[in-house]
Structure 1
Amino acid sequence: MSTLLYFVIGFLVVLVIGIGGYLLSARKYQSSNTVANSYDQWTNDGILEFYWGEHIHLGHYGSPPRRKDFLAAKSDFVHEMVKWGGLDKLPPCTTVLDVGCGIGGSSRILARDYGFAVTGITISPQQVKRAQELTPQGLNAQFAVDDAMALSFPDASFDVVWSIEAGPHMPDKAVFALELMRVLKPGGILVVADWNQRDDRQKPLNFWEKPVMQQLLDQWSHPAFSSIEGFAELLAATGFVEGEVITADWTKETLPSWLDSIWQGVIRPSGFLRFGLSGFIKSVREVPTLLLMRLAFGVGLCRFGMFRAVRANSRTELKDQNFANQTPSSSAALQNVNMN
């Protein structure tokens, strides 16, 4: 048997083992504890922060997209989101709730560059600890463990509610929408950025899209993705929205992030020395999911959705709750919440 054949057989064996390990080690969503544990682990090992910096979200590369430093693009995303949401016109000391704040990158920018009074919440205790460590004394940003599905704050607590890429972790999108709007003051602004699936009510997923989407859910503790259209409908269905929910698609602006995140591992080999073999294996393990994300967003299976809504002075009656993304529990939650 030739050396080449041995090599091919060996490569195929390693490939099969790698694929098997990838599939068997998936971090499937089971409960909020699954999400908290995943982020606790990612925060403790430090690998995600080393490569992704203080912002565990995608970057903004301009329109049309242009080459940009990966970490700079992430900071730019926050400023672009502020501008898109009209938050740059708000006065200092505006109160902001950052839902799914991670290790506080966005919260610190909102407090430092815009003078806002920011409260960041995450379900991960380790993320709260790290956010506090990274936040300079005197900066008006505080952090706490809280569940976005049942926020501990009273109704009408904040001038602004802000959230980046937290929605896919929420098991009931209608309840999530309701909680975001509930804690806004009348006249307050909701600004959300999220990973979304194509609206499958209009175009159902085909034979290859279904397994791809399943991996995107299973690998990173996501119970489901909403569509841009579906989540906008759920926000409107809360009865708290004044006028219309404004949406935008930032898929093109954020698309380079996926390959850029992989490229970080190539141009920053010091990570291997810092985290060793186990860290290298953990990093490589995420590459297939990042590539699947790039595929999904590149072909339109997934979209990067932006949402802006203003809280009405009084809650309107719900006229239509028959949305495809709603579950019976979602309808009950919308009907039973106290009228404000």
Structure 2
Amino acid sequence: MFELLLPFCLLVLSLLTLFIIWRINARKYISSGTVASAYDSWTQDKLLERLWGDHIHLGFYPSGKQNIDFRKAKVHFVHELVKWSGLDKLPKGSRILDVGCGIGGSSRILAKYYGFNVTGITISPAQVKRARELTPSGITCNFQVMDALDLKFEDGSFDAVWSVEAGAHMNDKTKFADEMLRTLRPGGYFAMADWNSRDLSAYPPSFFENLILQQLLEQWVHPNFISINEFGNILRTNKNSAGRVISDNWNYYTNPSWHDSIIEGIRRPFAILSLGPLAILKSIREIPTILLMNWAFRTGLMEFGVYKCRG
């Protein structure tokens, strides 16, 4: 009996230890500085880059199933958002602002495949440094450290503004929208994708759902989530959009990313092992949050919003 009980007790103890580590090391949003610090850390340890490539965002799966390579799905997502938003109608040489550019994955695709002149901004100095290192000569991208809530560009500076999965880190969604649309020239294209909650005022969360939402906020430096409709209305009331905003929920196309983001560790074990024992612990530490994200998006508590409009 003891021989059977001991492994079970060790398993429970291990899981409890991991849970305690996960909670103690939560990344709560305090200010934009905590967002910068978190992304500096993720970039410098290179774990996400080794596992997921240079696109730190979800992928696009046309069938809604895990039927294509995770990294290819991420590239496919960029092309799908370009096509859906109309950015492919812009001529080569058009000026594009990538707000929350990460390590430059989307920026490089926009420059390489569409011939755009891309300016990528992120609040993380480590991401800017890595984006520059990953960008070969001849690719018209430049990267700058900048707060998305205080863009240092003149009104109407860009032919298109692009942002993928950055808005959830913004504590002032209205200011975020205002700054992006302010820099968009009249007639320019706006394309955005973000993590949203469902409409919590119309469909209040249960006690359990509230616990899940709290963890999703505290683990990945999110100040708050709002619904697709709420952010769409913020965009519509901006004078630069003239109310011409279209939004959609791409949960069906992006949800397989959550399973794939874990499975990548199995497909590419040496990507983790080559970074040393600490990387193994760090990768395990992210699994609970990814599983919670998967559950939240799969059940509709969270939604993947996409937005487009003309300036």
The within-5 A match list for 1:79-118 is: 79-118=79-118
In the TM superposition, residue 245 of structure 1 has moved relative to its aligned partner by: 0.9
Separation (CA, whole Å) in 2 of partners of 1:268 and 1:38? 24
SS in 1 for 2:247: strand
Partner of 2:295: 295
Partner of 1:323: none
The within-5 A match list for 1:278-293 is: 278-293=278-293
SS in 2 for 1:79: helix
The within-5 A match list for 1:203-242 is: 203-242=203-242
Matched, 1:167 2:158: no
Partner of 2:181: 181
Judge conservation of contact 1:39–1:124 (CA < 8 Å) in 2. yes
Separation (CA, whole Å) in 2 of partners of 1:287 and 1:269? 15
Partner of 2:130: 130
SS in 1 for 2:248: strand
| Residues 148-172 of structure 1 deviation map (CA, whole Å, 9 limit, x = unaligned) | 0111111111010000000010001
Separation (CA, whole Å) in 2 of partners of 1:52 and 1:11? 29
In the TM superposition, residue 272 of structure 1 has moved relative to its aligned partner by: 3.6
Moved more, 231-240 or 110-119: 231-240
* TM-score scaled by length of structure 2: 0.98
Alpha-carbon spacing, 1:207–1:264, altered in 2? closer, same or farther (3 Å):
same
In the TM superposition, residue 271 of structure 1 has moved relative to its aligned partner by: 2.4
Separation (CA, whole Å) in 2 of partners of 1:218 and 1:269? 28
Judge conservation of contact 2:60–2:74 (CA < 8 Å) in 1. yes
Partner of 1:76: 76
Partner of 1:19: 19
Question: How many equivalent pairs are there?
Answer: 311
- One-letter code of the match for 2:2? S
- One-letter code of the match for 1:258? W
Show structure 1 runs of 5+ residues with no match: 312-340
Separation (CA, whole Å) in 2 of partners of 1:66 and 1:88? 27
SS in 2 for 1:241: coil
In the TM superposition, residue 142 of structure 1 has moved relative to its aligned partner by: 0.5
| Segments of 4+ moved more than 6 angstroms | none
Moved more, 264-273 or 136-145: 264-273
* TM-score scaled by length of structure 1: 0.90
Separation (CA, whole Å) in 2 of partners of 1:157 and 1:95? 8
Separation (CA, whole Å) in 2 of partners of 1:17 and 1:125? 33
- One-letter code of the match for 2:55? H
Judge conservation of contact 2:64–2:256 (CA < 8 Å) in 1. no
| Residues 133-160 of structure 1 deviation map (CA, whole Å, 9 limit, x = unaligned) | 1111121111000000111111111010
In the TM superposition, residue 66 of structure 1 has moved relative to its aligned partner by: 5.1
| Residues 175-234 of structure 1 deviation map (CA, whole Å, 9 limit, x = unaligned) | 111111111111111110011100112101111110101111100101011210000011
Show structure 2 runs of 5+ residues with no match: none
In the TM superposition, residue 244 of structure 1 has moved relative to its aligned partner by: 2.4
SS in 1 for 2:28: coil
- One-letter code of the match for 2:209? E
Partner of 1:327: none
Partner of 1:141: 141
| Residues 68-90 of structure 1 deviation map (CA, whole Å, 9 limit, x = unaligned) | 00000000000000000011111
The within-5 A match list for 1:26-41 is: 26-41=26-41
In the TM superposition, residue 243 of structure 1 has moved relative to its aligned partner by: 4.0
